[in-house]
């Protein structure tokens, strides 16, 4: 994944690309750090930073939470 490609992508694609690169289980801080390193948009960083402080066992546990908080398109 190249950082230069991320800002032009939709929010869903940015998150999908990011989560495909993250080692699970992980926690919120690691997700935010990975997004920042990947050059994700401020909106994605804010979404991730707003998640509860907890461990996330897999991609589904993250997207389900994001989908319920930020509208359709991320969960599923």
Residue, of 73 and 11, whose pLDDT is higher: 11
**Mean pLDDT for the stretch of residues 40-60:** 93
Q: DSSP states of the chain as a string?
A: --GGGSTTS-HHHHHHHHHHHSPSSEEHHHHHHHHHHHT--HHHHHHHHTS-SSEE-SHHHHHHHHHHHH-TTS--
When pLDDT is cut at 50, 70 and 90, the band that residue 69 belongs to is low
Is the model's pLDDT at 74 over the cut of 70?
A: no
Per residue in 14-46, pLDDT (tens digit) is 888 899 999 999 999 999 999 999 999 999 999
């Amino acid at each position: 994944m190249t950082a230069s490609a991320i800002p032009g992508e939709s929010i869903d694609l940015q998150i999908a690309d990011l989560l495909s690169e993250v080692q699970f289980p992980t926690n919120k801080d690691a997700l935010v750090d990975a997004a920042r390193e990947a050059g994700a948009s401020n909106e994605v960083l804010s979404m991730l930073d707003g998640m509860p402080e907890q461990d996330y066992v897999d991609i589904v546990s993250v997207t389900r939470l994001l989908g319920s908080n930020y509208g359709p398109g991320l969960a599923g």
